[in-house]
Amino acid sequence: MPYDLSLTRNQRLLRSACIAGALCAAIGLFAWSAGWLGADRLTSAQLIDRMEANAGVHPGYRRAHPRGICFSGYLEVSGDVAPLSRAALLRAGRVPVLGRLSVGAGNPHAADTSVPVRSMALLLRQPDGQQWRMAMNNPPVLAVRTPEDFYEQLWAMRPDPGTGKNDPVRVKQFFDAHPESAEFRAWAAAYRPSDSFASTAYNSINAFVLVDAQGQRHAVRWSMVPQLAATPLGSQGVADDALQQDLLQRLKSGPLRWTWRFTLAGSGDAVNDPTHAWPAERMQLDAGNLVIEQARAQLEGDCYGFNFDPLILPDGVEPSDDAILRARSSAYAQSYRRRTFEGQPSSQQPGAQP
């Protein structure tokens, strides 16, 4: 849903919170069986239906973050994290990467800067055929802990039929009833988007578990930290495709880089709570650099046909018991099935290229 600049500052922050919360769980929620997401029998179809009711149906596009751009490049893996995992992708070397950068608007024809939320998705392949797919977002935390609470959040932010906007009072009531959203709301209040995908940091948010050769388990989160200094996004004269054009223009001058940084959980850190950031003093290890070499419109690029399910993991990397992480694949699959059935939009359709 577009970020409505006509709202008051507090209302804009609430809108940001809704959008960012949607982005994080809208990556897709996995069912424990047959599409069921939890004890209350929430299904992936119900979740995607609610997202469509809020943002509209846009045939052929992803239900979450439909506006984006494909890219390709590689990971320069340092090997510094390899002792913590038997995953071959963490050993020193170069790994080809296919990826996608996107924004959190539910409308694929919205402006790149219509929302503050941005995402990066990656697909990595090992020589033995195993894959590692990642879906990262710029918020460091989520607003809620469970798929059911996320569904309630979507319901709270539903647009009013008369105005087409959500009710800030209703949204505030939701957040008041969910004190675990405090860290997320603080981030939303302070965050100022940069003017480029290339200067944005992207976070796993959920924790994962690295398993080493001896079977020892290490809880981690990771981030892609930009090596380009950030410049605040301007408020005037920004084109609808500003972020995508900026990316393409920067790539004409050379590759773009991020540091792949792992944070290790400390004793007592909640591994299953995506609403709470771990302390800044936790040990960090740099696994290498992500290097983007090329980018292409998503309807022409290789990323369109992929479902970036973050539970597709190689041996040596496992999901934590985070309820939202454990719930992600099913709604991703539901979104993928719907857009595949609908068919790819024509690149000649107005606004289709992003």
* pLDDT for the residue 16: 42
Cα–chain center distance at 123: 13
Residue 310: predicted pLDDT: 92
pLDDT at residue 56, rounded to an integer: 76
User: What pTM does this model have?
Assistant: 0.84
- How many angstroms from the chain centroid is the CA of residue 354? 17
65, 109, 178, 276: which is the annotated catalytic residue? 65
Single out the residue of 132, 122, 68, 125 nearest to residue 98, CA to CA: 122
- CA-to-CA separations, 4 to 63, 104, 112, 236, in angstroms, rounded: 20, 13, 13, 15
Q: Is 151 annotated as a binding residue?
A: no
65 classed as catalytic: yes
Instruction: List the pLDDT tens digit at each of the 354 positions of the chain.
Output: 332 323 344 444 444 444 443 333 333 333 222 344 554 578 878 877 777 777 777 777 777 778 899 999 999 999 999 999 999 999 999 999 999 999 987 778 888 988 889 999 999 999 999 999 999 999 999 999 998 998 899 889 888 888 888 889 999 999 999 999 999 999 999 999 999 999 999 999 999 999 999 999 999 999 999 999 999 998 766 889 999 999 999 999 999 999 999 999 999 999 999 999 999 999 999 999 999 999 999 888 888 888 889 999 999 999 999 988 877 777 677 776 777 787 788 654 434 444
Please state whether 16 falls in left (phi above 0), alpha (psi between -120 and 50) or beta: alpha
Predicted confidence at residue 234, as pLDDT, reads: 82
